[in-house]
């Protein structure tokens, strides 16, 4: 607890030349005979900590506390306080002189004002002027004489609950202000009723008076209003006429300007017509030339078309000749078919005769005569039979391989079954990762299960949590990835806005799941560039970036780069020197082995924060998907091998069929070869002649087409130019016709404009005459108004304002007549009656406003009182009840009865605290006063009350001077035991008990200190006379030894007795 006294120094203070001692934090007993200076120490504590002289009650002047014969005195007190979590001391020094009664204050050796010192003391909740904390000898008797209100205030101050004290003061202040306001409200309400009663009796007469005054004022206003409205009408009429004249003049000017524009437009169009006629003549000449050239080319094209027609007729004749030749070839083909049948019959006959064997090989194969037609055919048939033998050899090889393929297929089936078992095991690992997801983030797990069964709701792919979608190679890399991306492990990724809205609406809005969902589209992994190329990164000792440790969908990697910047964080799986990168501005964060380094530069100072990576929780099961993919790939490869064996089996069957088909095709080939040789001999000469003629016709026709194309180009060129000139000429003629029509219209408009100008000039002259007449009438009316200006200015202002209510002078005259009639109908009333009425009305309004404000203030005070009561009353009652429990318990320990009761009155300022005590069984509980109980009973009650207050008080220490005087020995011993028990508890206040005597064999505690004052004229005798100084330590040790020996003798005596 801050504020405990750790050291006291007194110099030239009352009886002391110099005194210095260090109190303990618990109970400090100061013992000494009367006159030795015990109470001087109490006064030193009180004055050194800003206590008032009147409160101590020993002297009126500070100089009276200076030792006799000295000019100045000094008090120095050190208090404990906490600085930076550690206890330290603050020293307060007070020095005062005899001649001027002035005090100099210092804190830790620096001069300070008394206000600054008292502020420091108040911060420790030290209350020297409170009897519940500081009870000097002269004030012991006053404690029991305190009124209940004084005791309650002192108790609240001693407790040190600033909030409670503030609420109590606010309650008293608000209650007093409310009472004052209620008194004021009653007085004002009585006065208001009296004034209203007086005015109610004459209110009708005053109303008639005011009505007559109003009519009189209206009469005066109307007298001014008539000429004013008349002047306004004339002025407005004059302004309208002036505007009309101006408008007519403006119209004349506009009409003249418009007519001049028409004349100019007419001249421009006539000039343009002349220029267009000249231009048309030039176009006619050009048009004639271009038409002449185009007609000439047209004649040449007609001649060329006749030549092309002749060529085409010749070509058609040659085409007819070709058709006839083809018919002849078809006749030849029929003859070949008949020959083919004869060849087949001949082959069967040759086999029966033994010319060829069963394999189709010519028995006369050694004959060199293969140049003949049949020899050629037999030679080629022999080659085809050799090919057939090769196919048979391959078939036998396939038969041999079939068993091997069957054995291999069985082996593949067994291998596929083993791989399928591995895949099922890896599926179990995926389930383990899902179980971990459920353990660490149950909301993300629930959302993922929902997603599995509702994927049809989404337009694009919605990814499961990142922890499910990605993998790493080992546990070390898994730890790096988990520590880097953090909470992103549980993040869902969507690829379009519609899916994002459906997902968040279903799971976050409806199911109230706390999950993380992001939406990114158009992200590319190539957009996230590494700050240092991987080849150069390895020179620094790094293996890769964190991005390279992750296997997963590209969309997931894009999002992790965007959010967690994994493409910027290098990683080394082995130890390297991290100090190398301190000055590298590119690398802001990097990971070496299992340590993460983060650099931060602020105010040009570099700081590096390191963090040891935690082990992976979810991604430790990170090989499942990669292995699963490899196994599935291997299964597919074995299935393909198995399928390949089936293909080979089917191939064998196809080759058998192919052999049969070959035999058939070999025969067909033999026939086709004969057909080719026969037909080529019959057509070659005739076709060559036809192709030559066809080429000749084609070349000649193509040459004519080229000439025709050139002529058409020239013809189109001249034709387009002639058409262009014709269109230009047509446009010129059309424009001329339009301009001629426009000129006629313009001439008509000019005539109309001249007529309008004449009419406007005539009307303008009439308006000017009328305007001058109205002006004269307005001037005459204005002069009448000038004469009225010398009258009441307020009437004039009212007339001007009221003029806005009338549109015409006739309305004003009618209103004036009505006002005069109303005036004649009301009689006159005394002015004094009206003045008294109005004076009381003002007082009534003022009092009404004052009463309203007072009621609002009373309501506000009531609200504040009720608001404070809700908090203050339960708190104060709770404190008093607990204090009463402590007080009653203390009295019970000495065989007596004591109670503390809160005296609640209607006014908070009269609330009090009563102490009731009973020291004898025959007595009733009685209020503690300064006269009813004996001095010893008052002392017991006082000390037990202060002890009960010990556990509630926020005061750092408590001082009681000679409180045990007048107690009997029994009570003094019991009080002493309770005092030691209370003051020795941890966290309790420091206690100073000053007494001239103590009973023998009192209880002692190691947490208490006993100070024996040895003061007087013999105090420093050893300095002058050779007297041996008392060795208190040796004395205490000797006494302890003697007591121990006595205990041993007593134990031995007990054993002998047994």
Q: Decide: 650 and 513 in contact? Cβ < 8 Å.
A: no
Provide CB contacts within 8 A for 384, sequence distance 6+. Answer: 662, 666, 669
CA dist 653 to 62, 232, 410, Å?
A: 134, 125, 22
pLDDT at 669: 43
Mean predicted confidence (pLDDT) in 94-108: 88
d(CA 388, CA 391): 5
Q: Is pLDDT above 90 for 569?
A: yes
In tens, the pLDDT along 811-827 reads 676 766 766 666 666 66
Q: Is pLDDT above 70 for 410?
A: no
pLDDT at 65: 85
pLDDT at 106: 92
CA dist 310 to 704, 724, 871, Å?
A: 11, 37, 128
d(CA 201, CA 213): 20
Among 42-51, 174-183, 232-241, 549-558, the least confident range? 232-241
In tens, the pLDDT along 5-27 reads 999 999 998 888 888 889 988 88
pLDDT at 136: 64
pLDDT at 826: 63
In tens, the pLDDT along 723-769 reads 887 787 788 778 878 877 888 888 888 888 888 888 888 878 888 88
Per DSSP, which regions of 356-501 are E strands? Answer: 491-494
- pTM for this structure? 0.38
Q: Decide: 996 and 34 in contact? Cβ < 8 Å.
A: yes
pLDDT at 131: 61
Q: For a pLDDT cut of 70, what percent of the chain falls above it?
A: 68
Q: Is pLDDT above 90 for 285?
A: no
Q: Is pLDDT above 60 for 686?
A: no
Nearest Cα neighbor of 612 from 485, 479, 488 is 479
Backbone φ, ψ for residue 563 (5° rounding) = -90, -50
Nearest Cα neighbor of 596 from 618, 614, 583, 611 is 611
Encode 980-999 in three state secondary structure.
Answer: HHHHCCCCCCEEEEEECCCC
In tens, the pLDDT along 995-1048 reads 877 777 788 877 788 888 876 655 555 555 455 566 767 877 887 788 777 777
Residue keyed to tokens 């006993």: 1010
d(CA 312, CA 298): 21
Question: How many CB atoms neighbour CB 632 within 10 A?
Answer: 14
pLDDT at 662: 41
Q: Is pLDDT above 80 for 613?
A: yes
d(CA 245, CA 874): 92
In tens, the pLDDT along 365-375 reads 444 443 344 44
pLDDT at 238: 83
């Amino acid at each position: 607890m801050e504020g405990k006294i750790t050291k006291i120094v007194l110099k030239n203070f009352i009886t002391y030349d110099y005194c210095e001692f260090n109190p303990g934090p618990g109970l400090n007993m100061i013992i000494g005979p009367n006159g030795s200076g015990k109470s001087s120490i109490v006064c030193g504590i009180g004055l050194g900590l800003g206590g008032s002289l009147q409160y101590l009650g020993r002297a009126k002047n500070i100089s009276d506390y200076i030792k006799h014969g000295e000019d100045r005195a000094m008090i120095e007190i050190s208090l404990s306080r906490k600085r930076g979590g550690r206890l330290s001391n603050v020293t307060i020094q007070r020095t005062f002189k005899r001649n001027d009664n002035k005090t100099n204050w210092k804190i830790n050796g620096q001069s300070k004002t008394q206000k600054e010192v008292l502020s420091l003391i108040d911060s420790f909740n030290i209350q020297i002027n409170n009897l519940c904390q500081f009870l000097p000898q002269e004030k012991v008797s006053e404690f029991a004489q305190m009124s209940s209100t004084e005791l309650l205030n002192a108790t609240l101050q001693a407790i040190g609950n600033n909030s409670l004290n503030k609420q109590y003061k606010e309650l008293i202040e608000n209650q007093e202000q409310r009472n004052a306001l209620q008194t004021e409200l009653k007085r004002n309400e009585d006065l208001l009723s009296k004034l209203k009663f007086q005015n109610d009796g004459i209110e009708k007469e005053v109303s008639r008076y005011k009505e007559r005054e109003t009519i009189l004022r209206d009469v005066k206003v109307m007298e001014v209003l008539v000429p004013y409205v008349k002047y306004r009408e004339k002025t407005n009429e004059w302004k309208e006429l002036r505007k009309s004249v101006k408008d007519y003049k403006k119209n004349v000017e506009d009409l003249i300007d418009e007519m001049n524009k028409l004349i100019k437009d007419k001249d421009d169009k006539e000039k343009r017509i002349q220029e267009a006629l000249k231009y048309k003549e030039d176009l006619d000449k050009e048009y004639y030339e271009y038409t002449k050239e185009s007609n000439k080319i047209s004649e040449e094209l007609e001649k060329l078309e006749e030549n092309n027609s002749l060529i085409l007729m010749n070509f058609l004749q040659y085409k007819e000749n070709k058709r006839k030749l083809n018919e002849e070839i078809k006749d030849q083909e029929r003859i070949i078919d008949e020959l083919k049948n004869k060849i087949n019959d001949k082959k069967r006959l040759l086999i029966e005769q033994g010319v060829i064997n069963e394999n189709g090989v010519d028995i006369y194969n050694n004959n060199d005569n293969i140049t003949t037609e049949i020899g050629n055919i037999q030679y080629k048939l022999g080659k085809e039979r050799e090919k057939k033998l090769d196919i048979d050899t391959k078939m036998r090889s396939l038969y041999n391989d079939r068993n091997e393929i069957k054995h291999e297929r069985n082996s593949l089936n067994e291998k596929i079954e083993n791989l399928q078992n591995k895949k099922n095991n890896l599926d179990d690992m995926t389930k383990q990762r899902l179980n971990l997801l459920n353990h660490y983030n149950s909301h993300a797990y629930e959302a993922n299960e929902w997603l599995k069964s509702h994927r049809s709701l989404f337009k694009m792919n919605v990814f499961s949590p990142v922890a499910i979608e990605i993998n790493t190679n080992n546990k070390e890399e898994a730890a790096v990835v988990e520590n880097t991306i953090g909470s992103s492990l549980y993040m869902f990724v969507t690829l379009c806005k519609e899916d994002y809205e459906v997902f968040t609406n279903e799971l976050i809005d409806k199911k109230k799941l706390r999950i993380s969902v992001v939406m990114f589209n158009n992200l590319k992994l190539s957009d996230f560039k590494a700050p240092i190329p991987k080849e150069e990164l390895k020179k620094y000792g790094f293996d890769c970036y964190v991005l390279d440790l992750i296997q997963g969908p590209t969309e997931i990697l894009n999002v992790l780069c965007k959010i967690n910047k994994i493409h910027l964080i290098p990683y080394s799986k082995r130890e390297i020197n991290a100090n190398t990168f301190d000055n590298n501005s590119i690398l802001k964060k990097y990971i070496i082995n299992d340590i993460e380094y983060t650099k931060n530069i602020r105010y040009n100072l570099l700081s590096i924060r390191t963090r040891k990576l935690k082990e992976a929780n979810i991604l430790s099961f990170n090989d499942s998907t990669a292995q699963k993919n490899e196994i599935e790939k291997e299964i597919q490869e074995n299935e393909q091998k198995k399928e390949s064996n089936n293909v080979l089996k089917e191939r064998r069957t196809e080759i058998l069929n192919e052999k049969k088909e070959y035999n058939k095709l070999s025969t067909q080939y033999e026939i086709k070869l004969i057909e080719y040789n026969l037909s080529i001999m019959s057509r070659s000469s005739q076709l060559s002649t036809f192709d030559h003629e066809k080429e000749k016709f084609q070349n000649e026709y193509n040459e004519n087409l080229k000439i025709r194309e050139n002529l058409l180009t020239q013809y189109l060129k001249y034709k387009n130019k002639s058409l262009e000139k014709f269109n230009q000429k047509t446009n010129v003629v059309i424009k001329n016709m339009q301009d001629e029509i426009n000129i006629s219209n313009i001439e008509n408009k000019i005539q109309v404009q001249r007529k309008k100008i004449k009419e406007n000039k005539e009307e303008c002259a009439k308006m000017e005459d009328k305007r001058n007449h109205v002006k004269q009438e307005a001037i005459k009316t204005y002069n009448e108004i000038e004469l009225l200006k010398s009258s009441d200015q307020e009437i004039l202002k009212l007339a001007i304002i009221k003029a806005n209510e009338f549109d015409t002078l006739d309305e004003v005259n009618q209103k004036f007549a009505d006002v005069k009639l109303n005036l004649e109908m009301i009689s006159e009333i005394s002015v004094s009656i009206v003045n008294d009425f109005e004076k009381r009305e003002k007082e009534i309004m003022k009092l009404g406003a004052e009463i309203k404000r007072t009621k609002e203030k009373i309501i506000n005070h009531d609200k504040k009182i009720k608001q404070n009561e809700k908090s203050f009353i339960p708190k104060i009652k709770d404190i008093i009840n607990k204090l009463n429990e402590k007080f009653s318990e203390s009295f019970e320990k000495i065989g007596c009865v004591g109670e503390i009761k809160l005296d609640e009155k209607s006014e908070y300022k009269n609330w009090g605290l009563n102490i009731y005590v009973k020291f004898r069984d025959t007595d009733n509980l009685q209020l503690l006063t300064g006269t009813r109980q004996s001095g010893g009973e008052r002392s017991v009650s006082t000390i037990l009350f202060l002890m009960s207050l010990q556990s509630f008080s926020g005061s750092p220490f408590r001082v009681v001077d000679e409180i045990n005087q007048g107690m009997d020995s029994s009570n003094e011993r019991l009080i002493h035991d309770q005092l030691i028990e209370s003051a020795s508890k941890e966290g309790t206040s420091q206690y100073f008990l000053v007494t001239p005597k103590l009973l023998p064999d009192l209880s002692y505690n190691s947490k208490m200190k006993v100070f024996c004052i040895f003061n007087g004229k013999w105090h420093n005798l050893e300095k002058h006379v050779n007297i041996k100084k008392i060795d208190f330590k040796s004395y205490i040790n000797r006494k302890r030894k003697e007591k121990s020996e006595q205990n041993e003798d007593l134990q031995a005596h007990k054993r002998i007795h047994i």
